Amino acid sequence: MQQKQENTGLIWFRNNLRVNDNNALRKATENHQKVVAVFYFNPKHFVKDSFGFKKTEKFRARFLIETVENLQKNLQKLNITLLTFYDSPENHLNKVCKKFNIDAIYTQKEWTKEEAESNKLTQQSFSNKIKFIEDYDQFLYNPETVSNDFSNIPNVFTTFRKKLEKSVKVLQELTPTPLTKENLVENDTRIPNLKDLGFHNFEIHPKAAFKFFGGEDAALDRLNNYFFETKKVNFYKKTRNGLIGTDYSTKFSPWLANGSLSAKTIYWKIKEFETEFGANQSTYWVIFELIWRDYFKYISLKYDNKIFKIGGILEKKYSWNSDENQIKNWIDGNTKDDFVNANMIELKETGWMSNRGRQNVASYFAKELLLDWRIGAAYFESLLVDYDVHSNYGNWMYVAGVGNDPRDRKFNTQLQAERYDTNYKFRKLWLEKTLF
């Protein structure tokens, strides 16, 4: 067995805000007798971007605060102290490393532009030689078991999926091991509140389809409820295109997005459910959606920053425009299309929108209004409680015709409304004026 090091290891939490199935946590506790953890509420994430939207609006900000509070509590049970700061890691992490004599930092591997830049600046700020250990920890299928060369990733999802399902195994989950109580350190930091991040307190909208708390505990409760208590997973394939309520879809995506729930945890829970109650199309379809999520991450690894370019990964040329009135009407739900309007009002009021709604409003924005799809993607980034950089930009490219859809489709939003909101129930819910 490997001898634990005397020096202190540091876990830098990012979008891996959980104690279960966490490589950084496992490696730090295996390699070091002493471990501290840190999380940064980066001020850069709460300012306006180049399109005029706050990068993180109030919905995801509150979900993040709840998540970090829960993470701190769960780490405490493992005798690990989580220090929290409202600062950027490149400005501050070096101070933490000096204070605790850190010789190794364990974190989740990130590769998109802003995260990679933060890594580079942070490492440049270190005055001493510190090992920087990163792990791909946000996938169902670990990249190290999938490809040595990401340029070989297929451009068609079906090809990708079939190869993975045939040749690659999903790794087992990791269970954390507590350290001794002597490992805990004094913590004079505090988790910021909404006001600290520039927001007012707010109530969850009574009509919201997502009313859950942030954090790993809430995620595992939802997982258990959706699978074992209600067995709603048995009907997922039939209900996943729904528009109203808590249970038409799994609602796992916000926890997946900030890493308070891992894709592997969901996968192995499905396998447990199938062993006990039997497999069907619906249980498989949850895994199918997790593979889609992986796919957009692999496309991001393959094409790097092209996913943020106007021509997308196809480098296509469209005549995009950026008419401010049209953008505002889309945001406010004041277009000529009532189905688009209802979905956009839901997003503005709750930070949530169904998958069916997202496809329709994005298609309307890019294909009907011919607006620069990156503006729509930036608005989604700001508002969505389950914003995930790879899925968001991957889906927007896909719908805008500059991504992975070889058919370059345009959604007929009225036909979609007739099919998925036949009785106008969803449109009435969000378009009829109420006192709220």
pLDDT at 328 over 90: yes
What CATH code would you report for 7-137?
3.40.50.620
Residue with tokens 């004041």: 334
Which of the residue ranges 102-106, 189-193, 268-272, 316-320 would you say has the lowest mean pLDDT? 316-320
Note the pLDDT of residue 2: 58
Considering only 18-27, 172-181, 210-219, 272-281, which range has the smallest mean pLDDT?
Answer: 172-181
Please give the structure tokens belonging to residue 261: 């729930």
Under 8 Å between Cβ of 221 and 260:
no
Q: What are phi and psi of 134, to 5 degrees?
A: -115, 145
> What SS3 class is residue 112?
coil
Domain covering 138-169+210-303 assigned CATH 1.25.40.80 in the classification: yes
3-state secondary structure of 248: coil
In the predicted model, is pLDDT for residue 118 greater than 90? no
Helix, strand or coil for residue 81?
A: strand
The pLDDT of 130-138, averaged and rounded, is 94
Q: What is the pTM of this model?
A: 0.95
Whether 430 has a pLDDT exceeding 50, the answer reads yes
- Per-residue pLDDT tens over the stretch 333-355: 999 999 999 999 999 999 999 99
Q: What integer pLDDT is reported at residue 260 of this predicted model?
A: 98
pLDDT reading at 327 higher than 90: yes
Specify the CATH number for 309-431; select among 1.10.540.10, 1.10.20.140, 2.60.120.260, 1.10.579.10. Answer: 1.10.579.10
Name the percent of the chain lying above pLDDT 70. 97
Q: How many other CB atoms are there within 10 angstroms of residue 234's CB atom?
A: 16
pLDDT over 80 at 406, yes or no: no
- Contact, 376 vs 342, CB < 8 A? no
Please state, in angstroms and rounded to a whole number, the distance separating the CA atoms of residues 29 and 80: 9
Comparing 77-86, 113-122, 183-192, 359-368, the range with the smallest average pLDDT is 113-122
Q: Rounded to an integer, what distance in angstroms lies between the CA atom of residue 262 and that of residue 134?
A: 17
Given this model, what pLDDT does residue 7 score?
83
pLDDT confidence of residue 3: 59
How confident is the model over 246-273, as pLDDT tens digits? 999 999 999 999 999 999 999 999 999 9
Residue 44: alpha-carbon gap to chain centroid: 18
Q: What is the DSSP letter of 402?
A: S
Summarised one tens digit per residue, pLDDT across range 364-385 is 999 999 999 999 999 999 999 9
Q: Mean pLDDT, to the nearest integer, of 320-326?
A: 95
| The pLDDT value given to residue 5 | 60
CB of 87 within 8 A of CB of 42? yes
* Higher pLDDT, residue 362 or 113: 362
Predicted confidence (pLDDT) at residue 221 exceeds the cutoff of 50: yes
Asked if residue 1 has pLDDT above 60, the reply is no
Write the DSSP string, 298-351: HHHHHHGGGGGSTTTTTT-----B--HHHHHHHHHT-SS-HHHHHHHHHHHHHS
Q: Where does the pLDDT of residue 6 fall: very low under 50, low under 70, confident under 90, or very high at 90 and above?
A: low
Is the per-residue pLDDT at 436 higher than 50?
Answer: no
List, for residues 75-86, the tens digit of each pLDDT value: 999 999 999 999
| Lowest-confidence pick of 117-131, 288-302, 346-360, 364-378 | 117-131
Q: Domain coordinates of the chain in residue numbers? A: 7-137, 138-169+210-303, 309-431
Q: Which residues of 79-99 are buried (b: 16+ CB within 10 A; e: fewer)?
A: ebbbbbbbebbbebbbebbee
Q: pLDDT band for position 435 (50/70/90)?
A: very low
Helix-, strand-, coil-residue percentages of the chain, each rounded to 5: 50, 10, 40
Query: Residue 126's pLDDT band (boundaries 50, 70, 90)?
Result: confident
